[in-house]
Amino acid sequence: MALKLDFGCGNTPRAGYLGVDITTVGTKADIAVDLFTFPWPWPDNSVEAIWCSHFFEHIPGNKRGQFMVEVWRILVPGGEMMIICPHARSNRAVQDLTHEWPPIVWESFLYFNRGWRKANGLEHFPYPTKCDFDFSYGDIPHPDFDEKSQDEKSFAVNHYWNGAVDIHAQLIARK
pLDDT, tens digit (0-9, with 9 covering 90-100), for 75-119: 999 999 999 999 999 999 999 999 999 999 999 999 999 999 999
pTM: 0.94
Q: In what order do the strands lie in the sheet with 164-173?
A: 31-32, 18-21, 3-7, 47-53, 75-86, 164-173, 133-141
Exposed, middle or buried: residue 135 (CB in 10 Å: 0-12, 13-18, 19+)? middle
User: Among 15, 122, 79, which residue's Cα sits nearest to residue 71?
Assistant: 79
pLDDT attached to residue 7: 98
pLDDT attached to residue 128: 67
How would residue 127 be classed by pLDDT, with cut points 50, 70 and 90? confident
